[in-house]
Structure 1
Amino acid sequence: MKFTYLILNLFTLIPVMIFSFDRKLRFHEKWKYTFPGILIVGSLFTIWDYYFTLNKIWYFNPAYVLDFRLFLMPVEEYLFFLFTPFACLFIYESINQYYRKDWLLKVAKPLTLFFLMLSIGIAISNIDKTYTAVNFSVLTIVLSITFLFAPNKILGQFWLAFFVHLIPFWIINGVLTSWPVIVYNNNENLNIRVGSIPLEDHAYSLILFLSNLCAYEWFKKEKP
């Protein structure tokens, strides 16, 4: 069904739009901080995805996407970079609002360092696999910056939100990769899957979430 990817995008967006107006959460009042960062980070990811599509690291199954394409990619991929970070930031703010305790505060830095070291190791040992090498190299950069400059409190809140976000991530990406809407060139990745989802997609999602969070927190600090 050609509307599959579009429906998945809407499935991501609609609950967030509805619950953004929750009286306690009031996430709609923070939209002015979310969208500038989403547009900036999304623009960078669009270039990344275009490169992967151009070089056949993956391709979009025409049976499950609309026919309209821009720079080789279906319009749904651009919507993905708007709706998914929006949903991730909603999860982040919801947890912070409803669960005030900083569950991961004490382990935030060690956890970041662990994933940083793991990312470096995977990137170096798989330099011949484009999807693996690029994902974990970029993740290394993002984790290094946040390890050095992000406050422990924000890091702890991020990791909790990231682990929670894995639940909808596995559902949505499970459909994307099992039908499949997105088809991967396994010569360019580790071919290690969580269900049907490549391991690299988890790094990709971590980069997308953390980059948008950094932008979001920066705009919250800078904008009145």
Structure 2
Amino acid sequence: MIPYTYILINFFTVIICFLASFDRRIQFNKLFGKFLLSSTIVAIPFIAWDIWFTAKGVWWFDLNYTLGLKIAGLPVEEWLFFYCIPFACVFTYYCLEKYFTLGWTDALNNLIVFTSFIVLGVVGLLYYERIYTLLTVIVTIITLCYLHFIAQKEWLGKASFVYLILMPGFFAVNGILTGSLIPSPVVNYNPNDFLGIRMGTIPIEDAVYGYSQFLLNIYFFKKITENEK
């Protein structure tokens, strides 16, 4: 086992996007402060969720893959995860929105929200005793309903399309964390707390969890950058 596995995952996730941020055609480096603020707003509740689930044994970490440093029960790499992954996601969204015409995705907004509401609602009702499944369903439904009906954001289709584009990266990162290509998982899950449906080694809940986290990062990043223009 490589004790630097988790920190290396964070590093390689963010390094290309970080270096590209300084490209004079992109200049995302000028938005670093706004990104840090927006990602921290999102990270606070998700880290609290993480700390709680780790304490309850819903999931746990194999410290043999980490540096061995923990804060509030979480490896330091897990704290960095909530900045490194969103950085790569927000940067990708920023570039695609800036250089490509994605207006056609606006037509998907209603379809995405209502389909997600029905599918997630059914899953939540059927598997309410699985705490990871249930909480993921609740958070994602609330996120979608808030963005669509209250905040009235027209970019949900666009963001969902970008999230699909990011899926290869999602499978690479989460795949390794959940045991792909390495002897054992970095992150382990209690089988009683999730559906048990995996995409390779990745619990399907991770994709939905990541979707809500992605949407909230985009929302707060846009809100902060637009308010300060």
TM tier, shorter chain?
A: over 0.9
Bigger shift: residues 23-32 or 70-79:
23-32
For 2:152, the aligned partner's letter is: A
Moved more, 11-20 or 103-112: 103-112
Give the equivalent residue in structure 2 for 1:174. Answer: 175
Correspondence 1:89-100 to 2 at 5 A:
89-100=90-101
| Partners of 1:151 and 1:117 in 2: CA distance | 20
Measure, in 1, the Cα distance between the counterparts of 2:64 and 2:6: 10
- Report percent identity of matched pairs: 30
Answer yes or no: is 1:217 the counterpart of 2:222.
Answer: yes
Asked if structure 1 preserves the Cα contact closer than 8 Å seen for 2:35 and 2:221, the reply is yes
Q: Which runs of 5+ in 2 are unaligned?
A: none
Q: Following superposition of structure 1 onto structure 2, how do residues 56-67 of structure 1 map, counting pairs within 5 Å?
A: 56-67=57-68
Paired residue for 1:206? 211
Q: Deviations over 1:159-196 (max 9, x none)?
A: 12111111101101000001311011111000000111
Structure 1 residues 31 and 137: alpha-carbon distance in aligned structure 2, compared to 1, 3 A threshold: same
Q: Which residue of 1 aligns with 2:140?
A: 139
Do residues 150 (structure 1) and 152 (structure 2) align? yes
In 1, Cα distance between equivalents of 2:188 and 2:158: 33
1:127 CA drift (Å): 0.8
| Cα distance in 2 between the residues matched to 1:211 and 1:203 | 13
Counterpart residue number, 2:15? 14
User: Aligned equivalents of 2:159 and 2:30: distance in 1?
Assistant: 20
Corresponding position of 1:47: 48
Q: Which residue of 2 aligns with 1:187?
A: 192
What's the offset of the Cα at 1:116? 2.2
Unaligned 5+ residue runs, structure 1? none
SS in structure 1 of the partner of residue 115 of structure 2: helix
What SS does structure 2 have at the residue aligned with 1:106? Answer: helix
Task: Summarize deviations over 1:78-119 as a string: whole Å, max 9, x none.
Answer: 000011111110110111122124231211221222112212
Report what 2:121 is aligned to.
120
Specify the SS of the correspondent of 2:106: coil
Aligned-partner Cα distance in 2 for 1:108–1:22? 32
> Is the 2:6–2:77 contact (alpha carbons within 8 Å) kept by the matching residues of 1?
yes
**In the aligned structure 1, how far is the partner of 2:145 from the partner of 2:102?**
26
Q: TM-score, normalised by structure 1?
A: 0.95
Work out the number of aligned pairs and report it: 223
RMSD: 1.2
**1:84 maps to which residue?**
85
Q: Distance in 1 between matches of 2:125 and 2:148?
A: 20
Deviation for aligned residue 1:150: 3.2
- Alignment correspondent of 1:68: 69
Q: TM-score, normalised by structure 2?
A: 0.93
CA contact (8 A) 1:9 1:83 kept: yes
Aligned-partner residue type, residue 81 of structure 1: F
Give runs of ≥4 in structure 1 deviating > 3 Å: none
In structure 2, what is the Cα distance between the partners aligned to 1:184 and 1:110?
A: 32
SS, match of residue 118 in structure 1: helix
Q: CA deviation at 1:217?
A: 1.2
Deviation at 1:125, TM superposition (A): 1.4
